[in-house]
């Protein structure tokens, strides 16, 4: 390409003194070369990824996904909270009715299996209705009483009813099959319910952090203090879930227990599938944030299809301009998160967040594909423009240089040969006509060519004495390699003089200089130059 640019410079300098026709042709060639350089720059910028708007596009997509996810989660959890508060109110009424009828307080119910059965029978319809009408996979109520206070673990064993859906699957997240997970088995027999394969008579409140405290220090109203527990393992099962805990308060403010609903990890996965997009699989996460980490193991993770997430990681958050990076230590994810208020009271100290996560390698693969497309397009553009420049060089430039070299090497042919360039053909015809008659004389050249020679000769006055000596050697027919010995100077000095001679005489190369010398000799004007 460098050689082409040098050739273009020489031809452009010569064309400035020629007719408009040659200038237009050379200008077209010049434009093609500029476009080649432009395409090369575009290619380099494509390789560097300067044209990529992937980060901005990803931010826009993820911001919209996060907004939709946040709206869905907020609406989902708010509805469950409202239904659980209503469940608390109705359970309080029915429990109080049984206690008033029996003339007993809740504390007196301890060690009375028959009365506990009556209380659970009163609670069952309300819990079952809550399960059937709520977007969850379980509903429960825990009474602050136990069947046997003499047992070793009686202080954290509490009577209650827990109903759950079984056989969850992706096509039907809420299966109609209800199983009896906790409670007195007589109710399961009455309602023809199957006992869960890990059924227990009572709840272990130690498995629900904050539950015991909620019963020991009840608020004035249930709506003043309720919370979603961090994800807990359901005792004796492989399952885990988050539980909404709402206090059940009597008319006098006595805490009868705790009720609420359950969202299991499996149910959440089915409810929030991955969102497949151009950047990768986006996973929905509801988890607490602590010390700059997103604690997936304490929250819930939607479907992880197409990712490496297992829902147990602790992700270190690195804030970014367009998105955040979430590092698990072995895998990286990118995404956005926003805090969400899901509890009321003391548990508000736990900061929860909804997040959208995409595997970092998926996004890297996408950006690499986009960059590859840009590079291929820019490379194709560069090759097309290079082909155009070579075509124009062959079509417009080579006839000029070929004709001038033929004049220099072979002289003017008797029969004029068309070069396709009007100015060159005009010069050839004129020189041929004058050579056949009386030879060339000063002033008989075409005005535009005579002016070109006059300007060339006039520029000799710009040369220094040393440069004139070098020029004389060229006039005498010596080659560059001979001049250092003739002039008693080094080759580098010769080259330095050459550059100065070319610049001052307005030529681009020795070939162009020798062409002027040859033409001046033919015109009988060579003496004017030396």
Report the chain (530 residues): mean pLDDT per 10 consecutive residues.
Answer: 55 49 59 67 59 74 91 94 95 94 90 94 96 93 93 92 83 69 95 92 91 88 90 89 94 92 93 86 92 93 87 90 89 91 72 92 77 72 72 64 63 55 62 55 56 79 86 85 86 87 83 81 77
The reported pLDDT for the residue numbered 442 is 44
Tokens 């006595």 map to which residue? 254
Query: In sequence order, which residues have a C-beta less than 8 Å from that of residue 464 and are 6 or more positions away?
Result: 500
The reported pLDDT for the residue numbered 440 is 44
424 in Cβ contact with 404 (< 8 Å): yes
Tokens 């020795």 map to which residue? 510
The reported pLDDT for the residue numbered 457 is 80
The reported pLDDT for the residue numbered 9 is 59
The CATH class for the domain spanning 56-264 reads alpha beta
Question: What sign does the dihedral 500-504-509-510 (CA atoms) show?
Answer: negative
Own/partner pairs, 172-181, CB within 8 angstroms, 24+ separation: 173/137, 173/267, 173/270, 173/271, 174/135, 174/137, 178/128, 178/131, 181/138, 181/140
C-alpha distances in Å from residue 293, one per residue of 69, 303, 363: 20, 21, 22
Whole-structure pTM value: 0.64
| Strands (E) located in 235-342 | 240-249, 255-264, 275-277, 280-290, 293-295, 300-301, 314-318, 324-327, 332-340
The reported pLDDT for the residue numbered 1 is 54
**CA distance linking residue 294 with residue 298, whole number of Å:** 9
CATH 3.30.450.20 in the chain, residues?
56-264
The reported pLDDT for the residue numbered 411 is 58
Q: Cα torsion at 334, 340, 343, 345 (round to 10°)?
A: 110
Query: What does the DSSP 8-state code read for residue 460?
Result: G
**CA distance linking residue 343 with residue 60, whole number of Å:** 30
């Amino acid at each position: 390409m460098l050689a082409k640019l040098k050739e273009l410079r020489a031809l452009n300098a010569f064309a400035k003194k020629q007719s408009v026709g040659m200038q237009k042709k050379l200008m077209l060639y010049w434009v093609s070369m500029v476009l080649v350089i432009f395409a090369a720059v575009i290619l380099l910028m494509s390789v560097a990824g300067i044209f990529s708007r992937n980060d901005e596009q990803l931010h826009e997509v993820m911001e919209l996904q996060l907004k939709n996810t946040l709206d869905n989660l907020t609406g989902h959890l708010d509805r469950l909270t409202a239904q659980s508060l209503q469940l608390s109110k109705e359970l309080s009424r029915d429990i109080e009715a049984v206690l008033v009828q029996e003339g007993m307080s809740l504390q007196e119910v301890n060690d009375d299996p028959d009365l506990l059965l009556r209380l659970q029978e009163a609670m069952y319809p309300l819990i079952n209705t809550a399960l059937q009408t709520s977007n969850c996979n379980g509903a429960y109520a825990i009474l602050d009483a136990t069947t046997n206070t003499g047992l070793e673990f009686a202080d954290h064993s509490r009577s209650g009813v827990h109903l759950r859906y079984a056989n969850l699957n992706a096509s039907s997240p809420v299966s109609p099959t209800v199983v009896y997970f906790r409670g007195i088995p007589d109710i399961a027999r009455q309602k023809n319910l199957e006992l869960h394969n890990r059924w227990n008579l009572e709840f272990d409140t130690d498995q629900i952090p904050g539950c015991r405290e909620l019963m020991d220090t009840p608020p004035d109203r249930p709506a003043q203090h309720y919370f979603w527990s961090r994800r807990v393992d359901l005792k004796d099962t492989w399952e885990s879930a988050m539980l909404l805990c709402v206090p059940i308060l009597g008319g006098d403010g006595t805490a009868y227990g705790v009720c609420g609903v359950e969202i299991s990890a499996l149910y959440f996965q089915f409810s929030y599938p991955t969102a497949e997009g151009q950047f990768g699989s986006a996973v929905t996460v509801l988890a607490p944030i602590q010390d700059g980490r997103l604690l997936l193991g304490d929250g819930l993770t939607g479907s992880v299809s197409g990712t490496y997430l297992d829902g147990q990681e602790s992700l270190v958050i690195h804030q970014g301009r367009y998105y955040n990076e979430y590092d698990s230590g072995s895998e990286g994810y990118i995404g956005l998160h926003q805090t969400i208020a899901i509890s009321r009271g003391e548990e508000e100290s736990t900061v929860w967040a909804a997040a959208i996560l995409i595997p970092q390698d998926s996004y890297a693969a996408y950006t690499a594909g986009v960059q590859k497309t840009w590079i291929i397009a820019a490379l194709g553009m560069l090759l097309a423009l290079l082909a155009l420049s070579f075509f124009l060089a062959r079509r417009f430039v080579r006839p000029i240089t070929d004709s001038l070299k033929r004049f220099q090497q072979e002289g003017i042919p008797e029969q004029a040969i068309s070069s396709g360039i009007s100015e060159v053909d005009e010069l050839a015809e004129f020189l041929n006509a004058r050579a056949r008659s009386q030879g060339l004389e000063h002033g008989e050249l075409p005005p535009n060519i005579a002016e070109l020679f006059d300007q060339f000769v006039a520029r000799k006055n710009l040369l220094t004495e040393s440069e004139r000596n070098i020029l004389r050697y060229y006039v005498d027919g010596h080659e560059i390699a001979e001049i250092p010995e003739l002039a008693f100077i080094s080759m580098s000095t010769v080259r330095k003089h050459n550059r100065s001679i070319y610049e001052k005489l307005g030529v681009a190369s020795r070939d162009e200089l020798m062409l002027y010398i040859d033409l001046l000799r033919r015109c009988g004007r060579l003496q004017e130059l030396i």
